[in-house]
Amino acid sequence: MDKQRQDELKKQAAQKAADLVENGIILGVGTGSTVAFFIDALGKRKEEGLSLKHIVTTSNRSKKQLEGLGFKVDELSEVDHVDLTVDGADRVNSDLDGIKGGGGALTLEKNVAANSTKNIWIVDGSKVHDVLQGFPLPVEVLPISCEQNFKRFEEKGLKPVWRMDGEKRYVTHYGNYIIDLGLDKIEKPYDLADYLDHTVGVVEHGLFLNICDQVIIAQDDGTIVEQVKEH
């Protein structure tokens, strides 16, 4: 699919999500190119009178865009919960579990999502697969033990690759590194998440399991499909 078509689809999914935002709520806004379209659509809704109690976001990029449209953005620590978070995803499977963190913002994204009553993901059809596949799994690691983590992942056959920023290792918002696991398929995401959750030095990983409540998919044929998770 060419980029222009993919952007059109992202825009459609983003518009649909913006239509679902209710007045007076505490809204979480994610990160990425699909979310950028969502923020544009939210700006239009603001012009039409939408008023939100608070907005929190998961990256400086989204914060800047929101502030440029006149929204006041708060920190997650300043709100006691989030009513709804709208975010993109890199992959989503039929159980509405997914891979996120392609943009490197996984730690804040997971913290905002975990504190949200409802999470909606907006994606184009290319991100949806029965089994999570075709996208490296980001793992954020502390610099102090990152070499040991990398070696263990290698030994375990997890195909680790350092995320780079030019010649240097990519550094996250929190001063950590990202190791991308180049797995072909993740057949058992809950087992892998359990391993990573119990690995010292891992700050966070991009397996977002049992978090998404609803996914809005803009399909290549122009139709929008909504799937709701049965918890």
Query: How many Å apart are CA 160 and CA 130, to the nearest integer?
Result: 23
Q: Which of 89, 178, 192, 196 forms a contact with ligand 5RP (CB under 6 A)? A: 89
- Kindly tell me which of 101 and 201 has the beta carbon lying closer to ligand 5RP: 101
Binding flags for ligand 5RP, 107-146, as an x/- string (CB under 6 A): --x-------------------------------------
Q: Annotated catalytic sites, by residue?
A: 109
In angstroms, rounded to a whole number, what is the distance separating the alpha carbons of residues 95 and 186? 13
How far is it, in rounded angstroms, from Cα 231 to Cα 180? 29
Site for ligand 5RP in 1-60 (CB under 6 A): 30-34
Q: Residue 155 has which token pair?
A: 């030994």
- Kindly indicate which of the ranges 19-27, 43-51, 81-89, 175-183 contains the residues binding ligand 5RP, using the contact rule CB under 6 A: 81-89
For ligand 5RP, which residue of 39, 41, 102, 186 counts as binding (CB under 6 A)?
102
Other CB atoms within 10 A of residue 56 CB: 25
Q: Residue holding tokens 């056959």?
A: 157
Nearest to 205 by CA among 106, 105, 114, 116: 106
Residue 89 counted as an annotated binding residue: yes
Chain positions contacting ligand 5RP, by CB under 6 A: 30-34, 87-90, 100-106, 109
